[in-house]
Amino acid sequence: MRGLIALLAAASLLVPVPALAASEPPRTGFEKTGNWTTEAEEQAYLRALGLPLSQIGTTAQGRPIQLVRVGPASGRTVVVFICSQHGDEPAGREACLIRMRSLPRNSGVTYLFVPNANPDGRVADTRGNSRGIDINRDHLLLRTEEARAMAAVFRDWKPDVIHDLHEFGPSAPYYVKDVLWLWPRNLNVADGVHDLSETLSRSYIRPSVEAAGRTSGVYGIYVDPVTGEPIRQVAGDHQERILRNTGGLKHGMGLLVETNVDNTPVFRVQSHLLALDGTQSFVRERRTAIEAANAASRAVRTGPIYFGGADNQPPDPSDVISKPPCGYVLTGAQYSSFQDELALHGIKSQYLRGGDRIVPLKQEARALIPLLLDARADEPLLRAQPVAQC
């Protein structure tokens, strides 16, 4: 039965769909015409679906940044799909729009979609937003309206799983697969979150995609097209500002999925739909383990802090704090300048005599705090004073 449904869904993407009766579900502009869904078509489609729809932000050019919910408002497990952060990578957005209308609404899982994470970039067909900023490099400093909107979603909904949809290319002869995937590799991500994220990529996304005849592999590894051997790794593996790592630091099992723009639009959208199948299977089959790993990551943790290295690259000893500080002291002026960003990250602070604030490391956001406040971090939000006693 599942194979028949998948076949019918694929067929609906291959040819324009005729006008539908009022009782039939709405279709995207892409499904109707084969062209990418326009801004107006997207808004009409979202209204026609009748799903809970909220505005979580506004872009610099005044376009809404929206959140669509499928399932209960208080589901036991929360899954977030971030669709097309890069405006010139539209296939992920199309897959999200298509998939949200068929997800179960009574499974106890809350599915959240940011269906168009870069509305200005999508209209202009640019990688960055209207100010030229790459949103997927802004999940730490939160300079953009788009990244701030997503940070609020992560803070308020506390997702267990974060699935980030992208495209790559043209980059031949190095990237030679149809679909690539990658988990959070930052060493500050809790072990359980890291391990299940890699399981999601290797044991669910990969077989779901490859069962349909697509090729797939780890994102960021240049591969020799003749020998098939890896040449070098280029994916910014440990960078905490990239969503797959930020999501892991915020306790969500996650990954990015990239489809190859050298393929046809239909092939690319279908590939993303297959990857979404993999995440849905992961949530169904590993739900208890996902929730346990998320809870363990959120609990008060100890251990070293890493400012470099990744799960595929040992850190330099100078990038490791084996005995982290108790917390960081911000001056009143620093706190005044950056309190909004700290709040969006869910970071708590306490008032000190004289107007200063202390951010204790002993809190849910522990893994993120040094990367934001310590001068030794690659790109700190500010340089606060580490203290041994709180």
Domain boundaries, the chain: 2-297, 324-387
Contacts (Cβ under 8 Å, ≥6 apart) of 25 = 49, 101
Rounded CA separation 222/176 (Å): 9
3-state secondary structure of 272: helix
pTM of the model: 0.92
Mean pLDDT of 108-129: 98
Check pLDDT > 50 for residue 279: yes
Check pLDDT > 60 for residue 18: no
Label residue 9 by pLDDT band (50, 70, 90). very low
Contacts (Cβ under 8 Å, ≥6 apart) of 26 = 20, 44, 45, 48, 49, 101
Closest alpha carbon to 323 in 341, 336, 305, 340: 305
CA 299 to chain centre: 22
3-state secondary structure of 128: coil
Mean pLDDT of the chain: 92
Mean pLDDT of 257-283: 97
Closest alpha carbon to 159 in 102, 86, 243: 243
Label residue 169 by pLDDT band (50, 70, 90). confident
- pLDDT value of position 312: 87
- 374-383: pLDDT as tens digits: 999 999 999 9
Rounded CA separation 25/48 (Å): 8
- pLDDT value of position 221: 74
Q: Where are the beta strands (DSSP E) in 91-151?
A: 109-114
DSSP type of residue 310: B
- 229-258: pLDDT as tens digits: 766 666 667 899 999 999 999 999 989 999
Mean pLDDT of 147-170: 96
Q: Based on the number of CB atoms within 10 Å of its own CB, is 12 exposed (0-12), middle (13-18) or buried (19 or more)?
A: middle
- pLDDT value of position 14: 39
- Locate 353 and state its tokens: 């005599």
- pLDDT value of position 296: 97
Mean pLDDT of 22-30: 88
Check pLDDT > 70 for residue 173: no
Q: Tell the CATH topology of 2-297.
A: Aminopeptidase (3.40.630)
Mean pLDDT of 284-298: 97
Mean pLDDT of 250-269: 96
Instruction: Verify cis geometry, omega within 30 degrees of 0, for the bond prior to 360.
Output: no
- pLDDT value of position 171: 64
Check pLDDT > 70 for residue 48: yes
Share of the chain above pLDDT 90, in %: 84
The terminus-to-terminus CA distance of the chain in angstroms comes to 59
- pLDDT value of position 1: 39
Check if the beta carbon of residue 14 is closer than 8 Å to that of residue 266.
yes
Rounded CA separation 143/381 (Å): 10
- pLDDT value of position 22: 52
- pLDDT value of position 236: 60
How far is residue 102 from each of residues 49, 239, 274, 277, measured CA to CA in Å?
A: 10, 34, 14, 11
Q: Based on the number of CB atoms within 10 Å of its own CB, is 27 exposed (0-12), middle (13-18) or buried (19 or more)?
A: buried
Considering only the C-alpha atoms of the chain, give the largest distance between any 2 of them, rounded to a whole number of Å.
69
- 331-355: pLDDT as tens digits: 999 999 999 999 999 999 999 989 9
More confident residue, 14 or 280: 280
More confident residue, 122 or 172: 122
- 299-331: pLDDT as tens digits: 988 999 999 999 988 999 999 999 999 999 999
- pLDDT value of position 15: 35
Q: Where are the beta strands (DSSP E) in the chain?
A: 53-58, 64-70, 77-83, 109-114, 161-168, 179-182, 216-218, 221-223, 230-233, 253-260, 305-306, 320-321, 327-330, 350-351, 357-360, 385-387
Rounded CA separation 277/205 (Å): 8
Share of the chain above pLDDT 70, in %: 91
How far is residue 78 from each of residues 4, 101, 376, measured CA to CA in Å?
A: 28, 17, 34
- pLDDT value of position 228: 67
